[in-house]
């Protein structure tokens, strides 16, 4: 691992922990993504995590806070853009019709996208607005 990769791994670890400590499972390889999509039934929240400042600093807290809703997804997973590149690329293949966006969040059911929140609906929004966006989709689909 080169010094830059080591530095970025160290920098991103707390951002990973923020989601895994809230119950998200990290998918770090394309094979893990394929297995998840192929074998998971029910609803899933997918967070495409990112180190990029303001949007990522809103996305993670909003994703965590949304889980206090009465209705919530059956499964929670995350891939890390810019860190686990191959896994993120594979997950994006399953988010058909949506432009790559980091961070972003998708609510899936049986592998199909029901609701997608791109970076543009995260950046410059309040955490509460993002939580409302997520929980309204949970109330509709979960």
Check if the beta carbon of residue 142 is closer than 8 Å to that of residue 43.
yes
Note the pLDDT tens digit of each residue in 112-136: 999 999 999 999 999 999 999 999 9
**CA angle, corner 115, sides to 31 and 57, nearest 5?**
80
Check if the beta carbon of residue 117 is closer than 8 Å to that of residue 47.
no
142 among known catalytic residues: no
Q: Give the pLDDT score at 123.
A: 93
pTM over 0.85: yes
9-13, 52-56, 72-76, range with greatest mean pLDDT: 72-76
Q: Give the pLDDT score at 129.
A: 98
Fold that domain 3-141 belongs to in CATH:
Glutaredoxin (3.40.30)
**Please, which pLDDT band fits residue 68 given cuts at 50, 70 and 90?**
very high
Check if the beta carbon of residue 141 is closer than 8 Å to that of residue 72.
no
Where are the domains positioned within the chain?
Answer: 3-141
Catalytic residue among 35, 54, 110, 139: 54
Catalytic residue among 52, 67, 95, 114: 52
């Amino acid at each position: 691992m080169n010094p830059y990769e080591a530095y970025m791994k160290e920098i991103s670890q707390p951002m990973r922990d923020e989601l895994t400590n809230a119950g998200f499972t990290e998918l770090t390889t394309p094979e893990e993504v394929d297995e998840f999509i192929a074998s998971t039934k029910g609803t899933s929240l997918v967070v495409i995590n990112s180190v990029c400042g303001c949007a990522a600093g809103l996305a993670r807290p909003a994703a965590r806070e949304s889980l206090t809703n009465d209705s919530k997804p059956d499964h929670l997973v995350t891939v890390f853009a810019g860190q686990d590149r191959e896994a993120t690329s594979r997950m994006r293949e399953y988010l058909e019709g949506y432009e790559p966006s980091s961070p972003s969040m998708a609510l899936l059911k049986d592998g199909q996208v029901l609701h997608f929140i791109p970076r543009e609906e995260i950046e410059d929004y309040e955490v509460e607005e993002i939580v409302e966006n997520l929980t309204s989709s949970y109330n509709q689909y979960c």
